[in-house]
Structures are given as C-alpha cells and as structure tokens.
C-alpha cells in the first residue's frame, strides 16, 4: 500500500512500487522584500500610480511580495532615463568597457545562482531541477556570450559599419522569466542600446533580483530600467514615441497588436510568438530514447514552452509500442512541490492558465479524442495538471491546431515521410520541431521541408546562446540568440 506523504501533501511514487523521500531545496537563503518598486535610473522608485499587485506562489497560492504597477508616467520616466543614459554614457563608452559590465552581471548571476533558481521556482511554479539546471545557467551563459560580442561588432556584419539603435523596449512572458530577460537585455547592452524591460505580471521577482544584480555590477544609472505591471504597462512601452526598437516574446495574439501599432513607423521590432511543434518518431528510431524525448518535449516546464513538442507524429508500425511506453513513462512522472528535487512537473503558472488548459482538455474529449491522464496525486492547494495525452485526434482537432501551453500531448500516426511533412506543416505556427530516426537522409529531408525555426534531431529542447531561435509564419518575426540576435539591435551606417 502506497502511503501519502502528509508533510508536503504529495505522493512521490515510482511505478516500481517504492516512494521517494521528500528532498526539498532550502528557502533559508532567500531574501525577498515585502514590496518591490520600479527600477528606474538605477534606483528603486515608487510608482506614480501608487498601485501595487501581488505576485503569488502558484504551488501554494501564498503571496510572495507586492510589486509596483507602472503606468504611462512611470514608463515615460523609464524611457527618458534610458534615453539620457544612451546619449550621455552608454553609446559613448568604449565597447570593451561595455563588455566588462555585462561580464560582471553574468558572474554575479552565477554567484547567486541558487537564490535565482529558488525564487524562479517559487514565483513561477517550475520544478527546481529545471530552474537550477536550465533557466539560471542559460541566463548567465547568455550574458557571458553577448559580453564577448561587445567589442567585436565589426566582425558581426562584415563589410558594414554597425551602430546601435537607441532605447529598446522589451516585453517578456512568464514561462522563462529570468532566461527571457537575459535573451533580451544581453544583446541590447552588447550592441550599445539601453533598455526598458517589462516582466510578466505573474513572474516579476527574478527580474527584480536581476535589478539588484545590475546595481551591484555598477551599471551606469538608466542603462537598464525594469518596470513591472500587466498588459497595459507593456502597451505603454510599445506606444511610447521614445522607443527605437520593440523586442517582444509572448502570444501571437498580442504580437499581432504590437505589429499593427508599429506598422509604418521607423521603429524596429522582433516578435517571438506561439508554437505548436511536431515531434516526429520514425519506426527506425531508438524508441526508448525517443520516448524520453517526447516526455521532455511536452512535459518539461509543465508544457509552458513555446517550442513544446505538443503534436506527436508516430509512424504507424510502431505507434502502439510508442504509446504504450509513453503511458508507462507518464505514470512515473512526479507532479508536485516545485522546490522538491525529485519533482518532474511543477505547478501551472496561474489560475487563468490552468483554466485555459482545462478548457482545452474538455474540447479534446468533446471532439472525440481518447484521453489518458497519469494517475498521480496532486497537492490540494495550488494549480496543477496531470500529464495528459490524446489519441484518436485528427488534423482539424482544436487540440492539434491550437497552442494549449500546458502538459497536453496530441498523438497522430503517419505512414510516409511525405505525409508527415505535410501534416507537420499544416498549422499556422512554425517555431520548432523534432525528428527521431536512425537515417541521416530522413533528418535532412524533414528538417529542410518543415517550416520551423529550429528542428532538433534525436534530441529535444536543447538551447545554447550561440544558436539563433525564432519562428516562421505566425510564430514570429526576427531571430534572437547567436550572431543573428545582434542584428535586430543594430543599424548599418
Ligand atoms: P502574452 O499574454 O502575450 O504576454 C506576454 C507579455 O506581454 C507579458 O508581459 C504581458 O503582460 C504583455 N502584454 C499583454 N498584453 C499586451 C499588450 N497589449 N501590449 C504589450 N504587452 C502586452 O503571453 P503569455 O501568455 O505571457 O506567454 C505565453 C505565450 O508566449 C505563448 O504563446 C508562447 O508560445 C509565447 N512564447 C514564445 C516564445 C518564443 O521565443 N517564440 C518564448 C516564450 C513564450 P502580462 O502578462 O503581465 O499581463
Ligand atoms: Mg508569481
């Protein structure tokens, strides 16, 4: 008889019949303030609105801190501070000096990695294993990588002389809060631009910790400004005439609004938007390895991943075997306390997101899909979703066509390479994908004919600061990461 772990209210069971003892990461070293003000011109500044909102821990629903809500006047102050810092300091500084500041941010972030990882898991709900092993190290790696570019920009665009744009307005989502901030801030600073960044309403805390690191690194005031708030704060940044470039990561819906706002202006933009990736398993793939890749592709970070492998295509001859193995593996996944080092799947980021996921699960069932959910227990408080799989779905099913942004996988079968390429492309998105096969020729055919920014072969969800990332079709405009990620922050002179 398996016992329930009373202390954490989660049963950490393994299908082999034994249980993991809880292994929670300590919170003792975490210093969170009760209230976070806006970070403008190098100082924490009370908002003109006088308003604050709560950021909660989605795994307990407990309030973590009050966070300032920036209005139009606050955004204006931040943009002005960024402009003055750009004109007087940052754009005039020798590039190698700029690089030193960025290196300093990277090093302090590494020193405080544990603190960042724990706060990321508390504020956003993701498993500590991911924030510790993926989010924080990758965020530091982005600062290190772009620090190296600062004094080498002449080599980035051979034959052309490049110059910074001015003030970049940057708006990020809640699924990788610190990592997205690093994706945005690091290339902007390396290219000599100054920044006004808005984190997502549900996950502002690691951005505020980053503001502390920026202070500690001694960056000149106004080079990076961080304004918290909801969608209206983001819109105030986009609409501000003092912004030279908008870098947005978020939903296709909001991306379209931003594109309309900026159309016809001379302001540059990059949009990193939604996705609905195809993960394709051929019969000659190493099946156990592929099953791990599918699990990682869709259940990593609760499926809150723009490049999640949310559509699985399995070659017919191995479909039964793959689905059976998948279900067995899903049973072993541990859903629960994000701070427990055994946890595979943490909390859903917010109540709204959980409702959206549940709505889609209902739609999938009503459309005739066959649903399978892992039988694991979940805590009574907080926002949770068991890993979910749909078979018997068609190309037109909404769970196949629309982005759910949760741990929900839709499985279809195929017979030929041509068929799966056509099915994979039959979608408004084109951000990412995966292919599992023993044959290099199939990898070449699939990766060259599927319209997606990144396609992993015999692996999934691997990121590196040197590698560009971005979408085709409704998945976005422009690229971030690598050398390509510098270009949207530069103009040739
Ligand atoms: P979202 O609702 O579009 O929000 C993204 C950010 O924009 C948030 O900071 C949000 O503020 C802000 N915002 C909302 N309305 C705005 C407006 N009218 N003008 C300017 N800013 C506005 O997206 P989300 O639900 O947070 O994130 C999930 C989406 O992001 C998914 O579609 C996912 O695929 C996409 N994503 C894409 C990538 C990529 O690299 N392609 C990476 C990660 C995520 P508040 O949320 O604070 O209200
Ligand atoms: Mg939160």
Which residues have CB under 8 Å from 23's CB, separation 6+?
A: 340, 341, 342
pLDDT tens for residues 220-235? 999 999 999 999 999 9
Q: How far is the CA of 99 from the centre of ligand 1 (A)?
A: 29
Verify whether residue 355 is a known catalytic residue. Answer: no
What CA–CA distance (Å, rounded) separates 162 from 133?
35
Which two structure tokens, joined as six digits, stand for 160? 């052309």
Q: Name all domains of the chain by residue range, CATH numbers in brackets.
A: 35-273+475-492 (3.40.605.10), 278-457 (3.40.309.10)
Q: Taking the chain, what is the end-to-end CA distance rounded to the nearest angstrom?
A: 72
> Once rounded to an integer, what is the mean pLDDT over residues 97-120?
98
- Closest-CA residue to 64 (of 202, 212, 179, 248): 202
Burial (Cβ within 10 Å: 0-12, 13-18, ≥19) of residue 415: exposed
By the 8 A CB rule, do 206 and 181 touch? yes
Please pick, among 306, 307, 376, 385, the residue that the annotation labels catalytic: 306
Q: CB-based burial of residue 352 (10 Å sphere; 0-12 exposed, 13-18 middle, 19+ buried)?
A: exposed
Question: Which run of H or E residues covers position 373?
Answer: strand 370-373
Do the strands 472-473 and 429-430 form a parallel or antiparallel pair, or are they unpaired? antiparallel
Ligand found nearest the CA of 203: 2
CB neighbours of 16 closer than 8 A, spacing ≥ 6? none
209 or 492: which leads in pLDDT: 209
Local confidence band at 149 (pLDDT 50, 70, 90 cut-offs)? very high
Within 10 Å of residue 161's Cβ, how many Cβ atoms? 11
Query: Which H or E element spans position 293?
Result: helix 287-299
Q: Which residue has the tokens 């500044």?
A: 45
- Ligand 1 binding residues, C-beta < 6 A: 171-175, 198, 200-201, 230-231, 234-235, 238, 249-251, 254, 257-258, 272-275, 306, 403, 405, 431, 471, 476
Flag whether pLDDT at 7 surpasses 70. no
The count of other CB atoms within 10 Å of the CB of residue 26 is 9
| Range 459-480 burial, b when 16+ CB lie within 10 A, else e | ebbebebeeebbbebbbbbbbb
For residue 118, give the nearest of 334, 333, 338 by alpha carbon: 338
**Mean pLDDT value across residues 327-350:** 97
d(CA 413, CA 293): 17
Residue with tokens 């999938």: 364
Q: What confidence tier does 17 reach under pLDDT thresholds 50, 70, 90?
A: low
The atom of ligand 1 lying closest to the CA of 258 is: 19
E strands within 74-202?
162-164, 167-171, 194-198
- 272 part of the active site: yes
Give the pLDDT of residue 8.
Answer: 46
Residue 171's contacts (CB-CB under 8 Å, 6 or more residues apart) are 197, 198, 234, 237, 238, 246, 247, 248, 249, 250
Spatial distance between the Cα atoms of 348 and 125, rounded to a whole number of angstroms: 6
Distance of CA 409 from the midpoint of ligand 2 (Å): 25
Whether residue 328 contacts residue 339, with contact meaning beta carbons closer than 8 Å, is answered with no
19-33, 255-269, 318-332, 389-403: which has the minimum mean pLDDT? 19-33
Higher pLDDT, 311 or 31: 311
Which tens digits make up the pLDDT trace of 324-337?
999 999 999 999 99
Two tokens at 175?
């699924």
pLDDT at 13: 53
Residue identifier of the C-alpha nearest atom 4 of ligand 1: 250
Burial of 441 (0-12, 13-18, 19+ CB in 10 A): exposed
Mutate to test the pocket of ligand 1, among 251, 309, 353 (most ligand atoms within 8 A of CB): 251
Concatenating the DSSP letter of every residue in 20-54 gives PPP-BPP-TT----SEE-EEETTEEE--TT--EEE
Q: How many CA atoms lie less than 13 Å away from 305 in the CB half-sphere?
A: 28
Three-state secondary structure call for residue 95: helix
- Per-residue pLDDT, 37: 98
């Amino acid at each position: 008889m398996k016992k329930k772990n009373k202390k954490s209210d989660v049963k950490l069971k393994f299908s082999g019949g034994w249980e993991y003892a809880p292994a929670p990461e300590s919170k003792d070293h975490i210093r969170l303030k009760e209230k976070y003000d806006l970070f403008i011109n190098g100082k924490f500044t009370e908002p003109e609105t006088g308003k604050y909102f709560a950021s909660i821990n989605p795994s307990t629903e407990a309030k973590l801190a009050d966070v300032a809500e920036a209005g139009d006047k606050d955004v204006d102050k931040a943009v002005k501070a960024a402009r003055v810092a750009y004109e007087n300091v940052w754009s005039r500084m020798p590039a190698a000096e700029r690089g030193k500041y960025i290196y300093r941010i990277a090093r302090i972030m590494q020193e405080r990695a544990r603190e960042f990882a724990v706060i990321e898991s508390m504020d956003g709900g993701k498993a500590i294993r991911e924030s510790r092993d993926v989010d924080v190290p990758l965020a530091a790696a982005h600062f290190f990588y772009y620090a190296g570019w600062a004094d080498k920009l002449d080599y980035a665009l051979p034959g052309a002389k490049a110059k910074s744009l001015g003030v970049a307005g940057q708006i990020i989502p809640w699924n990788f809060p610190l990592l997205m901030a690093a994706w945005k801030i690091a290339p902007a600073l390396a290219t000599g631009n100054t920044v006004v960044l808005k984190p997502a309403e549900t996950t502002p805390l690691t951005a505020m910790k980053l503001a502390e690191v920026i202070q500690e690194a001694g960056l000149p005031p106004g080079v990076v400004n961080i304004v918290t708030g909801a969608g209206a704060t983001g819109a105030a940044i986009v609409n501000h005439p003092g912004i030279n470039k908008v870098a947005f990561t978020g939903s296709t819906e909001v991306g379209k609004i931003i594109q309309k706002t900026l159309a016809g202006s001379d302001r540059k933009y990059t949009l990193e938007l939604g996705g609905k990736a195809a993960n394709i398993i051929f019969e000659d793939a190493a099946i156990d390895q592929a099953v791990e890749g599918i699990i990682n592709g869709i259940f990593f970070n609760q499926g809150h991943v723009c490049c999640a492998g949310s559509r699985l295509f399995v070659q017919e001859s191995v479909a039964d075997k793959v689905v059976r193995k998948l279900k067995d593996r899903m049973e072993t996944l541990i859903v629960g306390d994000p701070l427990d080092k055994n946890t595979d799947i943490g909390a859903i980021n917010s109540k709204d997101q959980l409702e959206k996921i549940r709505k889609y699960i209902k739609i999938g069932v009503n459309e005739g899909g066959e649903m399978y959910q892992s039988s694991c227990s979940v805590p009574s408080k907080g926002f949770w979703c068991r890993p979910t799989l749909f078979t018997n779905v068609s190309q037109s099913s909404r769970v196949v066509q629309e982005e759910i942004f949760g741990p929900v996988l839709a499985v279809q079968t195929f017979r030929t390479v041509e068929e799966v390429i056509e099915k994979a492309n039959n979608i408004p998105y084109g951000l990412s994908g995966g292919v599992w096969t023993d044959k290099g020729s199939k990898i070449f055919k699939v990766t060259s004919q599927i319209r997606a920014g990144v396609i992993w072969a015999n692996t999934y969800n691997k990121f590196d600061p040197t590698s560009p990332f971005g979408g085709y079709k409704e998945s976005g405009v422009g690229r971030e990461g690598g050398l390509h990620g510098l270009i949207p922050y530069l103009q040739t002179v």
